[in-house]
Amino acid sequence: MKLAWIISLAMAALGAFATVAAAVIAGLVTNDSGLPTWTALGVQMLLGALLGAGGGFAAGAAAQKQLRRLRATVEVAEPAEAPTHRLIAPLDAIARAHLEVVEELAGECRTVRSQFRQTEIRKHLAETEVQHLSDVLHSLRDAVLVTNEFNELVMANEAAASLFAFRREEALNKPVSKVLRESQIVGLIKEAAEAGSSNSRKHAECVLPREPEPLNLEVSLSSLADPTREASSVVTILHDITQERQVSRMKNEFVSKASHELRTPLSSIKAYIEMLLDGEARDEGSRREFYEIIQHEAERLGRMIDNMLNISRIEAGMITANWENVDLVPIAQEAAELLKPQAAEKKIRIHFQRPHQACHADVDKDMMKQVITNLISNAIKYTPEGGRVTVAPDLTDCDRSVIVSVSDTGLGIPPESLPKLFSKFYRVDKHERVAKGTGLGLNLVKQIVESVHHGEVGVESEVGKGSRFWFIVPCRQGG
Amino acid sequence: MAVQRERAGGGSKSGQSGGRARVLVVDDETYIQHVVSLKLSNAGFEVITASDGEEGLAAAIEQRPDLIITDYQMPFLTGLEMCQRLKQNPATASIPVIMLTARGFALDDADLRDVNIRKCLGKPFSPRELVACVTEAVGVRSAE
């Protein structure tokens, strides 16, 4: 029976080899992508081995049976004393030769098995790596599109699918011009595919019409050149730079507006000084007028610079509040008193509405005074002669916050200007004629109340009737 | 329309040989308007003033000044818009303009020619230099 086993083993190995060879030749062990499927190969080898083993065992058993029959025939045909070794010797030689072949085959089989195991490990590693790369690609915030030399989409990550609103599984292997509606980007990809004779990288910027606002994209196109082909496949990466563009636009606007605002009082100062030097002020009265203008404009310039610095310090988180738990009623009253002379010039009455109780809150006293002063000063500026400004501090929000409101009987603010009212340098167009301003006062109010005191500012207004500005600060900070 | 007229104090410095040249000063900054008017009046020019682009346009049509000095940034109508409107009107199309601007950029040369802006002075400016420009521009116009 031993021989049957040996032969069966040999046949198993041969079977496995034959099966694999046949499969590889016939191209059976390839999947749709054209790559060998190692699992399929393994299964086929195993099947081949089993079939080979089965067949081999049967063949081995049959050979042993025949050998036994031959030996019996020899024993019967020749007397016992006859020299049987003459017949047995060649048979042994055959058996030995068989054994050598079988051993050789067994060795080969072991090698194949170990190679197979190694291949399986490599395949597993490769699969893990592919999965890892795919995870990386899909985790990218930038949209990635890969197209082949026929401009068909062969890969796209989730960001790309969401940016261009397509379903990945439906879009793959379709012409990119059918997947993307954005002809500009399709054009860039085609251009890169045609031009990409060498591995090249190209950058472009484009704007996609999107709601609520258009998207600014930085497009980077890398062509992966194949010398055997005329066109190349292209990797397109789209990076959203909308925010960067906005920040840079805002910065430029700020610099432009700030320089304009600062130059205006500066030009008055410079012009009047030159007039004085050139003797253009002919009498003491004119000279005095010029000095006063210079002083006024220098103060205006100083206030503007202070406001700008305060706003930028608050924005940068560089300002530290001097927290004190104080009653806001006397602070508001003090600010109202301070501005009474300014109001009196326009015959405006400032009415201070005293609440029934004290309004204590954790605040920076000086900053609060500045906020209330800015609001009252604005109310006076935009209220016609003979009008009225009312300052009213009170407790609100179940006594957890303090509200201070400043109402006027002024010009009122057009509804379209209300959302922009607290922005830096914003001025209501029609108000520019009524009074001078930097467009920084209300922004500073907002910064102090909201960024420093974690409160809220607001405004209600009706054109021709007046406005009511208010702010709320919590009584307790950090609680 | 709030067009005010400032008569020149002395006429001794006038750059014009016959009759005083009339200059329209358009600026929403009262102090700038005042200082420019005074400097020009002292130099012998007849000065009229306006406080924004719309007023400036109306004053130019009504008063036909020999020259306009305007600020760029103004409510209602910017200096440039006002100049464009002046150019469209045959009655005011040839009036030369000197622009004062506090903006950090210079206007394009083609823009300046299209709207008859002869010179662009940046703020802060020198009233002395401004008067020299006015004298030159009015002189150039007289020679045309």
Q: State how far residue A292 is from chain B, nearest Cα, in angstroms.
A: 11
Do B128 and A270 lie within an 8 Å CB cutoff? no
Do B127 and A275 lie within an 8 Å CB cutoff? yes
Q: pLDDT at position B18, please?
A: 53
- Check if A84 contacts B (Cβ < 8 Å): no
Closest CB from A256, A270, A293 relative to B104: A256
Identity of the residue numbered B129 = E
Distance CA A155, CA A235 (A): 9
Distance CA A451, CA A208 (A): 34
Identity of the residue numbered B15 = G
Residue A194 CB neighbour total at 10 angstroms: 15
Do B125 and A433 lie within an 8 Å CB cutoff? no
Per the structure block, which two tokens stand in for A104? 């050789």
Which chain A residues have a beta carbon less than 8 Å from that of B52?
433
Lowest-confidence segment of A2-16, A59-73, A273-287 by average pLDDT = A2-16
Sheet containing A466-474, strands listed edge to edge, beginning at the edge strand earlier in sequence: A349-352, A388-396, A401-408, A466-474, A456-462
- Check if A139 contacts B (Cβ < 8 Å): no
Residue A122 CB neighbour total at 10 angstroms: 11
Short-list B47, B97, B49, CA closest to B69: B97
Is pLDDT at A476 greater than 80 in this prediction? yes
- Report the pLDDT averaged over residues A41-70: 56
Categorize the per-residue pLDDT at A167 as very low, low, confident or very high, splitting at 50, 70 and 90: very high
Categorize the per-residue pLDDT at A61 as very low, low, confident or very high, splitting at 50, 70 and 90: low
Identify whether B127 is preceded by a cis peptide bond (ω within 30 of 0). no
Whether the model clears a pTM of 0.80, i.e. scores above it, the answer is no
Categorize the per-residue pLDDT at A79 as very low, low, confident or very high, splitting at 50, 70 and 90: low
Per the structure block, which two tokens stand in for A137? 């690609």
Pairing mode, strands B117-122 and B97-101? parallel
Q: pLDDT at position A22, please?
A: 46
- Report the pLDDT averaged over residues A171-186: 91
Q: Burial code of A396-422, b = ≥16 C-beta within 10 A, e = fewer? A: eeeeebbbbbbbbbbbbbeeebeeebb
- Report the pLDDT averaged over residues B100-126: 79
Angle separating helix axes B30-42 and B127-143, nearest 10 degrees = 60
Torsion of CA A34, A39, A41, A45, to 10 degrees: -170
Categorize the per-residue pLDDT at A261 as very low, low, confident or very high, splitting at 50, 70 and 90: confident
Is pLDDT at B11 greater than 50 in this prediction? no
Do A271 and B28 lie within an 8 Å CB cutoff? no
Short-list B60, B59, B21, CA closest to B40: B21
Lowest-confidence segment of A29-43, A315-329, B9-23 by average pLDDT = A29-43
Q: pLDDT at position A440, please?
A: 84
Residue A114 CB neighbour total at 10 angstroms: 10
Categorize the per-residue pLDDT at A71 as very low, low, confident or very high, splitting at 50, 70 and 90: low
Categorize the per-residue pLDDT at A116 as very low, low, confident or very high, splitting at 50, 70 and 90: very high
Do A260 and B29 lie within an 8 Å CB cutoff? no
- The answer for residues whose C-beta is within 8 angstroms of residue A304's C-beta and 6 or more apart is A261, A262, A265, A438, A440
- Report the pLDDT averaged over residues A352-376: 94
CB of A421 closer than 8 Å to CB of A382: no
Bridge partners, A208 (sequence order)? A215
Q: Is the dihedral of CA A287, A289, A292, A296 positive or negative?
A: negative
Bridge partners, A167 (sequence order)? none
Is pLDDT at A383 greater than 80 in this prediction? yes
CB-based burial of residue A325 (10 Å sphere; 0-12 exposed, 13-18 middle, 19+ buried)?
exposed
Which chain A residues have a beta carbon less than 8 Å from that of B36?
271
Closest CB from B35, B38, B128 relative to A268: B35
Q: pLDDT at position A31, please?
A: 44
**By three-state DSSP, how is residue A107 classified?**
helix
Q: pLDDT at position A199, please?
A: 66
Which chain A residues have a beta carbon less than 8 Å from that of B42?
280
Is pLDDT at A228 greater than 80 in this prediction? no
Is pLDDT at A141 greater than 60 in this prediction? yes
Give one DSSP letter per residue of A113-156, joined into a string.
HHHHHHHHHHHHHHHHHHHHHHHHHHH-SSEEEEE-TT-BEEEE
Categorize the per-residue pLDDT at A72 as very low, low, confident or very high, splitting at 50, 70 and 90: low
pLDDT > 90 in chain A, percent: 51
pLDDT > 70 in chain A, percent: 80
CB of B72 closer than 8 Å to CB of B98: no
Distance CA B88, CA A313 (A): 48
Q: Is the dihedral of CA A355, A358, A363, A366 positive or negative?
A: positive
Lowest-confidence segment of A11-20, A320-329, A335-344, A369-378 by average pLDDT = A11-20
- Report the pLDDT averaged over residues A436-460: 90
Categorize the per-residue pLDDT at B138 as very low, low, confident or very high, splitting at 50, 70 and 90: confident
Cα A364 off chain centre by: 38
- Check if A279 contacts B (Cβ < 8 Å): no
CB of A371 closer than 8 Å to CB of A471: yes
- Report the pLDDT averaged over residues A234-258: 86
Categorize the per-residue pLDDT at B13 as very low, low, confident or very high, splitting at 50, 70 and 90: very low
| Chain B interface disruption, residue of A272, A277, A280, A297, most B CBs within 10 A | A280
Per the structure block, which two tokens stand in for A254? 């700020």
Q: pLDDT at position A428, please?
A: 80
Q: pLDDT at position A74, please?
A: 55
Per the structure block, which two tokens stand in for A314? 């608050």
Residue written as token pair 């910065």 = A251
Do A433 and B51 lie within an 8 Å CB cutoff? yes
Q: pLDDT at position B1, please?
A: 42
Is pLDDT at B144 greater than 80 in this prediction? no
Residue A286 CB neighbour total at 10 angstroms: 14
Short-list B31, B45, B138, B36, CA closest to B94: B138
Computed over every residue of chain B, the mean pLDDT equals 82
- Report the pLDDT averaged over residues B84-112: 83
Q: pLDDT at position B3, please?
A: 44
